[in-house]
Amino acid sequence: MAHLLMVESWVGAMSRLLPRAIREAGHEFTFLTRDLHHYLRTAPEGTAHPLLGARHVLTADTNDLETLLPYIEGLHPTLGFDGVLTSCDYYLPTAARLAGRLHLPGPAPAAVENACRKDATRRLLAAAGLPGPRFAVCADRSAATVAAAEIGYPLVLKPVDLCAGMFVRRIDDEAELVAACRALDDFPVNARGQRRAPVLLLEELLHGPEVSVETVTFDGTTQVVGVTDKSVGGAPAFVETGHMFPAEIPADDAAAAGETARRAIAALGLDGVVAHTEIKLTPDGPRLVEVNPRPAGNRITELVRHVTGIDLAAAAVDVALGQRPDLRTRDTGLRSAAIGFLVPRTAGVLAAIDGGDLVRQKQDVLELHLAEPGLAVKETGSNNAYLGHVMAGDADGPAARRRVEALLSGLRPRVVNR
């Protein structure tokens, strides 16, 4: 039995999937957080949050590395950690730094930090010769205006250190650029209380379908588990509206995407990671969007498990312990699995979601989650405002996405004004 240190977590699926994977492997974990109530608020009424299954819950300022590193180092001889992990992008560098400080398995901290900074990723991949969009890293709005004119509109504006698509916008002219920059100026601290880097990344707008490559890198070798497709809406934002695994794309495109992901992971120097690499399949070939050195979110890990039997959350636990993960595929009875998200169209208060009972009765539904009435509904600008999701599978082929779309059409949110 191993003992892992879990540094913070996402509050969604991974706050359940990682504890499950740790428990099913016969291990245990200590949970380290600066605010336990951040998680407890998300637990359904009358249930215990899975993170409370930890052997210990430690409270410390996880945003202050200068004091956190010696604090955990001092506890290590008594608690005896065997690995460090997190599912939350904002704490991936912290977990890597802690693992290094404790001489435990884990990716190189500098590699993780570069993967978590979109500007550093762009520069390193360009230096390694990986084809990508034309881009510019801008210190302020004035520099962004000049760079945008050089790149040419339309383009994409990104904060360099946020996730879930927050503040990522398509920009068609200078007025939209100024408005997007102002919106970012009004968000100087992220949702975990960390001060953001005041840097803007501008990129040439890439055309073509977007996919993600799910990989596991261990002992210097990256294995591609599969390729997931993505549907996007919410323009000018880029909101993920659904996924299907495996992606319904030609085999040559899937192989090219996989090779691009391998090259990017190698160029960043990542090892001992489960990664989720997003790629655009442009007419000129695959172009990298970003590398996320953690298992995929938005329930993609569960799509993979339903189709292949491979548990990427369990693989993340294994590599955190320096153990080779089991990536053998198994016959699950499904050829494809898909998820579709219920995206709000208007702001207000959720009165009800009609149709849920009928959808829940369908035999091919793998998951159905719907928000509770009374929820404050915001206009969608990122992947953080869903009203629910439905997941379904197809035993015969790549029809899971079409099945999910049909099921989603039966769900009717009623949002009323405040």
SS (H, E, C) 22-38: HHHCCCEEEEEECCCHH
- Kindly report, residue by residue over 146-173, the tens digit of the pLDDT: 999 999 999 999 999 998 889 999 999 9
Q: Under 8 Å CB-to-CB from 9, ≥6 apart: which residues?
A: 15, 18, 31, 33, 39, 51, 86, 87, 88
On whether residue 142 sits in a domain, the answer given is yes
374 and 312, same structural domain?
no
Whether 114 is in a domain gets the answer no
Quick one: which of 100, 95, 72, 70 has its CA closest to 18?
95
At 346 the pLDDT is 85
Are 256 and 285 in contact by the 8 Å Cβ rule? The answer is yes
Residues 144 and 155 in one domain: yes
Based on the fold, state whether residues 189 and 218 are members of the same structural domain: no
Coil/strand/helix, residue 407: helix
In a domain, 117, yes or no: no
Residue 59 pLDDT level (bands cut at 50, 70, 90): very high
Confidence check: pLDDT of 89 > 70: yes
* 228 & 190 share domain: no
pLDDT at 388 over 70: yes
DSSP state of 355: T
Q: Number of C-alpha atoms within 13 angstroms, CB side, residue 91?
A: 26
Q: What is the pLDDT of residue 46?
A: 57
Helical axes 14-24 vs 300-308, angle rounded to 10°: 40
Q: Same structural domain for residues 350 and 396?
A: yes
Identify the residue whose tokens are 């400080």. Answer: 101
Q: How far apart are CA 291 and CA 278, in angstroms?
A: 6
pLDDT per residue as tens digits for the range 307-363: 999 999 999 999 999 999 999 999 999 999 999 999 888 889 999 999 999 999 988
**Same-domain pairing of 211 and 327:** yes
Q: What is the band of 382 on the pLDDT scale with cuts at 50, 70, 90?
A: confident
Report yes or no on 125 lying in a domain.
Answer: no
pLDDT tier, 136 (very low <50, low <70, confident <90, very high otherwise): very high
DSSP state at residue 1: -
Q: Residue 116 domain-assigned?
A: no
The residue with greater pLDDT, 46 or 253, is: 253
C-alpha torsion angle, residues 315, 320, 325, 327 (rounded to 10): 30
The percent of residues above 70 in pLDDT, for the chain, comes to: 98
Q: Which contiguous run of DSSP H or E holds residue 266?
A: helix 251-268
**How sure is the predictor about 42, in pLDDT bands with cuts at 50, 70 and 90?**
confident
Do 315 and 339 lie in a common domain? no
pLDDT band at 221 (very low <50, low <70, confident <90, very high): very high
Domain boundary among 303, 332, 361: 332
| CATH code for the domain in which residue 64 is found | 3.40.50.20
Phi then psi for residue 312, to 5 deg, are -70, -25
**If pLDDT is split at 50, 70 and 90, which confidence band does 56 have?**
very high
Q: What is the pLDDT of residue 237?
A: 84
Q: Which of 174, 204, 234 is the last residue of a domain?
A: 204
Once rounded to an integer, what is the mean pLDDT over residues 385-399? 94
Q: What is the CATH classification number for the domain harbouring 288?
A: 3.30.470.20
Same domain, 326 and 353: no
pLDDT tens string 244-284: 999 999 999 999 999 999 999 999 999 999 999 999 999 99
- Tokens 């029809």 locate to 399
Number of domains in the chain: 4
**How much of the chain is in helix, strand and coil states, percent to nearest 5?**
35, 30, 40
pLDDT at residue 335, rounded to an integer: 97
Same domain, 310 and 346: no
Q: Look at 8-12, 72-76, 389-393 and tell me which has the smallest mean pLDDT.
A: 8-12
pLDDT at 403: 96
Tell me the average pLDDT across 172-193: 94
Q: Identify the band that residue 176 occupies on the pLDDT scale cut at 50, 70 and 90.
A: very high
Domain boundary among 156, 184, 204: 204
User: What pTM was estimated for this model as a whole?
Assistant: 0.95
In a domain, 361, yes or no: yes
Q: In this structure, are 174 and 216 located in the same domain?
A: no
Neighbours of 60 (CB within 10 A): 15
pLDDT higher than threshold 60 for residue 238: yes
- Which pLDDT score is estimated for 44? 65
| 228 assigned to some structural domain | yes
- For residue 85, is pLDDT > 60? yes
The single residue listed with the structure tokens 């407890």 is 40
Same domain? 259 vs 368: no
250 belongs to a structural domain: yes
Tell me which residue range forms the domain holding 222.
Answer: 207-332
Question: What is the pLDDT averaged over residues 47-62?
Answer: 90
Domain harbouring 149, CATH code? 3.30.1490.20
Is pLDDT at 384 greater than 80 in this prediction? no
CA geometry: angle 159, 284, 279, nearest 5 deg: 40
Q: Given pLDDT bands bounded at 50, 70 and 90, which one contains residue 45?
A: low
Say yes or no: 85 and 32 in one domain: yes
pLDDT of residue 347: 87
Sequential DSSP letters for 90-157: GGHHHHHHHHHHTT-S---HHHHHHHT-HHHHHHHHHHTT-----EEEESSHHHHHHHHHHH-SSEEE
